[in-house]
Chains A and B, each alone.
Chain A
Amino acid sequence: MRMRTVEISVGAFMLAGIIALVLLALNVSGLNLASQGDTYKVYARFENVGGLTPRSKVTMSGVQIGQVTAIHLDTEMLMAKVELDIHKDVDYLSIDSSAQILTAGLLGEQYIGITVGAEDDVLADGDVIEDTQSALVLEELVGKFLFNEVSE
């Protein structure tokens, strides 16, 4: 009799642990159970990536279409080269699309927003986005503001 209650409570304990882990995974980390498998790679060069990090979101009109996988220094062009993983079903990015580094909220993380251009041809695996806008750097903004003030 005593042994049975012990076994039942141990089983319940371990079950609670597993359920807690699942709940954490789904509700707290927003783990996407849908397969994220198929993606293709696109590159973009920026003068300043600011606070962008690998795994940052890549969005279009605010909707996530992929993520940043790597950030390297392009030694030929002396700019930052960012590697993006885009979902395979997002196959309508024209080759003159622009990529911009944006900030979510005041303290928020940085992400890449892509705006589609007018061309018919679309970006394929390995292509480079030419039109980019770097992250806003606070010192430059202040400098611009002061400069504008002075010139008035």
Chain B
Amino acid sequence: MLNFLQNLGHAGLKRVAAVGRSGQMLAQAVIAKPAPLEMLPLLIKQIYFVGVLSLIIIVVSGLFIGMVLGLQGYTILVDYGSEQAVGQMVALSLVRELAPVVAALLFAGRAGSALTAEIGLMKATEQLSSLEMIGVDPLRRIIAPRFWAGFICLPILATIFSLVGIWGGAIVGIDWLGIYEGSFWANMQNSVDFGEDILNGLIKAVVFGFVVTWVAVFQGYDCLPTSEGISQATTRTVVYSSLAVLGLDFVLTALMFGDF
């Protein structure tokens, strides 16, 4: 029994130490005087790798999720004679919940794990050390641009996800299932509020972007510099950031849409 408690305590302390290290890393990478001239090309390159290359999976997933929502929504609402509300349902589900959350989960899986693996590999091949020896801070040169890129890209990806999803729902609802186009859009426009729904969804995406990228970048930076270490780190990135996204989603939803 004592052994178990000791192990538990040890594991807990290790976790806390890791969180502390990750906070330190973030502070050193992000705070302190920015050097926009040299950072900008690095940032642009990272936005390409992290954002542009994630577009396909985001667009395709968004389209299919929107279409499924349209279909399922129709089959449920038609029993109440309220099938014109499909547009409203699809739009609200996407904008408030599905776009930020699903985009964040897909992002964690695709871009997050790629970031972790890349940074971990740079650590294992001593590229980070040699940067230091030449006198360049790897946190500013390698970590910071990747962090900002992730932070900027996820809200953009989530917005595109919403748009494509709503369009998918519209195709299914209007063209396939025959809902009247006018009431589809009118109901949607009447019930979706820019400030409450769209902006809140964006805020969620920004928070998720911060968390997912932070986890991904830290796991790469902190990993054991062996091939096993890197694979463990990528797994941890996907698992931790997914759990964090889902947990934060609950908290944010309660704060934004609950009655507090």
- Any A–B CB pair closer than 8 Å: yes
Pick the interface stretch among A3-11, A77-85, A130-138: A3-11
Q: Which residues from A are CB-within-8-Å of B95?
A: 24, 28
Interchain nearest-CB distance for A43 vs B (Å): 24
State which residues 198-244 of B face A: CB under 8 Å: 198, 202
Interchain nearest-CB distance for B51 vs A (Å): 5
Tell which of A17, A23, A24, A28 has the most Cβ of chain B within 10 Å. A28
Whether a CB of chain B sits under 8 angstroms from the CB of A145 is no
Binary interface encoding of chain B residues 149-190 relative to chain A, with 1 for a CB under 8 A from any of its CBs, else 0: 000010111011011001000000000000000000100111
Given contacts A27-B189, A29-B193, contact A106 B155 (CB under 8 A): no
Q: Which of under 10, 10 to 19, 20 to 34, or 35 or more describes the interface residues of A? A: 20 to 34
Are B197 and A29 interface neighbours, CB within 8 A? yes
Q: Which residues from A are CB-within-8-Å of B198?
A: 21, 24-25, 28-29
Tell which of B41, B51, B80 has the most Cβ of chain A within 10 Å. B51
**Cβ contact of A10, chosen from B44, B163, B190, cutoff 8 A:** B44
Whether a CB of chain A sits under 8 angstroms from the CB of B119 is no
A118 to B91, CA, bound (A): 42
Interchain nearest-CB distance for A136 vs B (Å): 18
Whether a CB of chain A sits under 8 angstroms from the CB of B72 is no
Closest to B94 in A: A28
Hey, which bits of chain A sit against chain B, CB under 8 A? Answer: 3, 6-7, 9-10, 13-14, 16-17, 20-21, 23-25, 27-31, 55, 105-107, 109
Hey, which bits of chain B sit against chain A, CB under 8 A? Answer: 41, 44-45, 47-48, 51-52, 55, 80-82, 85, 91, 95, 153, 155-157, 159-160, 162-163, 166, 185, 188-194, 197-198, 202
